[in-house]
Chain A
């Protein structure tokens, strides 16, 4: 995508952070509490710090983040979405400190190298499994992404999975009706799990084949992120589940 055209240039001129300096533990345990700041509520987050060019004036304070990339890793998806949806504010949520720092630096250098662009993306370090309601109001998001999440194979670790029946309640809360949740993995078992969690949840319904084809974002799922590119290089299979937030049937009548 645009990112591959841009990156080498920045590397030379502005010294884009190189990933290997930001390597951290491959898997974090989301259950253990780390010491990062947690906003008391969405209204306590000063988003003008995240989007200084777009949210400078007070008039803009009504503009809200609409896309969230959960466990964004090195941020490849956000970078692609940023230019595809230049009018939309989007944020990555990442648990690992160093990875978050990397994404921050990456965004800053892209902003520098491309004046006026990449102003709509940002990243926070947080545990998305605990603090989604601290960042987003009810129905605020129109898209949520869960690309190549950690698989947590063991049965007793299933509750660490970032898609689960309980957590879907919170995602349904943060998503507007009609909002879309995108998931993809190269682990078949996890793919089945995410799909069945979504299928069994009363507030989500699968997109049809036609809808999937018409949605330009679907094509990014397997190609835009670092993890996706790795899988593609190894010619690995991927399993995606894309669902829409709906009003549950016992509420429609």
Chain B
């Protein structure tokens, strides 16, 4: 019943994750989890827990590698979290959630997996030992707001959670997380729309505490997580010259959908809802500012990435776009994968053609479901992607006037009199 009435809400964007050492790439689209072994040059056959139902039964909403690539986690609308070994690609643990899962994170030492559910509660699972049907314990909660992103800080001291109420919470990750994480270090407040993604600025010369966030307010912001201070706001769409004359574009047209640090965090790739390609931002450590380095466009097809991935060791940026299923389309779970290589301070980045993509045709067949995606299917997908991202991220549409008053932030003027 619920599924019927919210048909298009149920469309899930395609997501991608790259092993930190660049040895494999995973794409999830709809309930399908597809993994390609770049070293072996072949598709991976996942081996699920024999006791569990095979794989995922509903849209996957989150996948990621964790603990330096020793673990891989997948989870989503089927209220199931699966923890895989990227060596054997066996499922080593299955965890049941009471609600649908919206985000996942793995502690840096691989000891704990955390996931957020539809009610804004973050749960923690102790992976020692990694048994099946481990009972998750509640860790923290955002009161009735959907959590869009979960991240551990680089030093592992904090867990960060971002939500659709514009909020980023920084919480100490305790020694005994099964008793809950009660100490809030800071809130990073400044976004004026939903926060869609988080990424840490990495690299030796950077302090551990610099965080990047992307939002429906079309900005990427730089924060100090210890104090919660907003260090810099980059109006990406504006700065990258995407705004121009199309004032008809709705408010969320330039929503930031994903962030991915490349080249040890010197550069940050930004996916924007209206952009066929990505924007590269440069992070200046000494001035603590962000600036647009360049726009990398994907020519020739309507490719608006829904998710980005990269491994720090190899300067390739992986992009995927797609949706779980399109009504009236004969490509169920359509996905399209592209790669930008040569992202380097000295070089010019290039969008690789399908002939030059690492893994070649086999990889495309594995991750896309088909080696070539025809143009018409693609255009339909691009539209559906937009709808899907909107539904995923935008909680409710305020009338324009109301939205203005929300931004003004001052209330109770009356008291002045």
For the complex, is A219 an interface residue (Cβ under 8 Å from B)?
no
Complex Cα–Cα for A35 and B402 (A): 7
Q: Are A49 and B406 in contact (CB under 8 A)?
A: no
Q: Are B182 and A202 in contact (CB under 8 A)?
A: yes
Question: How far, in Å, is B25 (CB) from chain A's closest CB?
Answer: 37
- Would you give the 0/1 interface string for A100-137, flagging 1 where the beta carbon is closer than 8 Å to chain B? 00001001100000000000001111000110011000
Q: Are A165 and B180 in contact (CB under 8 A)?
A: yes
**Residues of A with C-beta under 8 A to B181:** 169
Q: Are A172 and B411 in contact (CB under 8 A)?
A: no
**Residues of A with C-beta under 8 A to B179:** 202
Question: How far, in Å, is B268 (CB) from chain A's closest CB?
Answer: 23
Q: Are A39 and B412 in contact (CB under 8 A)?
A: no
Q: Are B144 and A130 in contact (CB under 8 A)?
A: yes
Complex Cα–Cα for A41 and B411 (A): 13
Q: Are B415 and A37 in contact (CB under 8 A)?
A: no
**Residues of A with C-beta under 8 A to B183:** 169, 172, 203, 248, 251
**Residues of B with C-beta under 8 A to A33:** 395-396
**Residues of A with C-beta under 8 A to B360:** none
Complex Cα–Cα for A138 and B408 (A): 23
Complex Cα–Cα for A133 and B186 (A): 9
Within residues 393 to 417 of chain B, which ones have a CB less than 8 A from any CB in chain A? Answer: 395-396, 398, 402, 405-417
Given contacts A49-B416, A172-B184, contact A44 B409 (CB under 8 A): yes
Closest residue of chain B to A130 (Cβ to Cβ) is: B143
Q: Are B416 and A52 in contact (CB under 8 A)?
A: yes
Complex Cα–Cα for A31 and B119 (A): 11
For the complex, is A50 an interface residue (Cβ under 8 Å from B)?
yes
For the complex, is B175 an interface residue (Cβ under 8 Å from A)?
yes
Question: How far, in Å, is A216 (CB) from chain B's closest CB?
Answer: 27
**Residues of B with C-beta under 8 A to A39:** 409-411
Closest residue of chain A to B230 (Cβ to Cβ) is: A41
Q: Are A40 and B192 in contact (CB under 8 A)?
A: yes
Q: Are B189 and A40 in contact (CB under 8 A)?
A: yes
**Residues of A with C-beta under 8 A to B180:** 165, 169
Is the contact region of chain B dominated by helix, strand, or loop, or is it mixed?
Answer: loop
Complex Cα–Cα for A104 and B415 (A): 7
Question: How far, in Å, is B257 (CB) from chain A's closest CB?
Answer: 22
Q: Which of B402, B415, B416 has the most CB of A within 10 A?
A: B415
**Residues of B with C-beta under 8 A to A138:** 184, 186, 228
For the complex, is A9 an interface residue (Cβ under 8 Å from B)?
no
Q: Are B411 and A124 in contact (CB under 8 A)?
A: yes
Q: Are A38 and B409 in contact (CB under 8 A)?
A: yes
Complex Cα–Cα for A166 and B116 (A): 14
**Residues of B with C-beta under 8 A to A60:** none
Q: Are B182 and A108 in contact (CB under 8 A)?
A: no
Q: Are A37 and B405 in contact (CB under 8 A)?
A: yes
Chain B contact-residue range equals: 35 or more
**Residues of B with C-beta under 8 A to A172:** 182-184
Determine which of B138, B144, B409, B414 lies in contact with A40 in the assembled complex, contact meaning CB atoms within 8 Å.
B409
For the complex, is A201 an interface residue (Cβ under 8 Å from B)?
yes
Closest residue of chain B to A172 (Cβ to Cβ) is: B182
Chain A contact-residue range equals: 35 or more
Within residues 181 to 216 of chain B, which ones have a CB less than 8 A from any CB in chain A? Answer: 181-184, 186-187, 189-192
Q: Are B184 and A38 in contact (CB under 8 A)?
A: no
**Residues of B with C-beta under 8 A to A1:** none
Given contacts A33-B396, A52-B415, contact A45 B186 (CB under 8 A): no
Determine which of A35, A37, A125 lies in contact with B410 in the assembled complex, contact meaning CB atoms within 8 Å.
A37
**Residues of B with C-beta under 8 A to A206:** none
Complex Cα–Cα for A129 and B179 (A): 22
**Residues of A with C-beta under 8 A to B175:** 250
Q: Are A50 and B189 in contact (CB under 8 A)?
A: no
Q: Are B140 and A169 in contact (CB under 8 A)?
A: yes
For the complex, is A170 an interface residue (Cβ under 8 Å from B)?
yes
Q: Are A133 and B143 in contact (CB under 8 A)?
A: no
**Residues of A with C-beta under 8 A to B165:** 130
For the complex, is B80 an interface residue (Cβ under 8 Å from A)?
no
Question: How far, in Å, is A199 (CB) from chain B's closest CB?
Answer: 14
Question: How far, in Å, is B114 (CB) from chain A's closest CB?
Answer: 15
Closest residue of chain A to B227 (Cβ to Cβ) is: A138
Q: Which of A107, A169, A250 has the most CB of B within 10 A?
A: A169
Q: Are B189 and A41 in contact (CB under 8 A)?
A: yes
For the complex, is B102 an interface residue (Cβ under 8 Å from A)?
no
Q: Are A45 and B409 in contact (CB under 8 A)?
A: yes
**Residues of B with C-beta under 8 A to A67:** none
Q: Are B189 and A133 in contact (CB under 8 A)?
A: yes
Closest residue of chain A to B179 (Cβ to Cβ) is: A202
**Residues of B with C-beta under 8 A to A49:** 410, 412-413, 415-416
**Residues of A with C-beta under 8 A to B407:** 40
Q: Are B411 and A108 in contact (CB under 8 A)?
A: no
Complex Cα–Cα for A220 and B186 (A): 33
For the complex, is A218 an interface residue (Cβ under 8 Å from B)?
no
- Would you give the 0/1 interface string for A40-56, flagging 1 where the beta carbon is closer than 8 Å to chain B? 11101110011010000
For the complex, is B89 an interface residue (Cβ under 8 Å from A)?
no
10 A-B contacts, Cβ less than 8 Å apart?
A: A35-B406, A39-B410, A40-B189, A122-B415, A124-B411, A129-B144, A169-B181, A173-B184, A248-B182, A250-B174
Q: What residues of chain A have their CB less than 8 Å away from a CB belonging to chain B?
A: 31, 33, 35-42, 44-46, 49-50, 52, 104, 107-108, 122-125, 129-130, 133-134, 138, 159, 165-170, 172-173, 201-203, 248, 250-251
Q: Which 4 A-B pairs have the closest CB atoms?
A: A41-B189, A166-B141, A173-B184, A133-B187
Q: What residues of chain B have their CB less than 8 Å away from a CB belonging to chain A?
A: 119, 121, 138, 140-141, 143-145, 165-167, 169, 171, 174-176, 179-184, 186-187, 189-192, 228, 395-396, 398, 402, 405-417
A125-B411, A130-B145, A251-B183 known; 9 other A-B pairs, CB under 8 Å? A33-B395, A37-B409, A40-B189, A122-B415, A123-B412, A166-B143, A169-B183, A248-B182, A250-B175
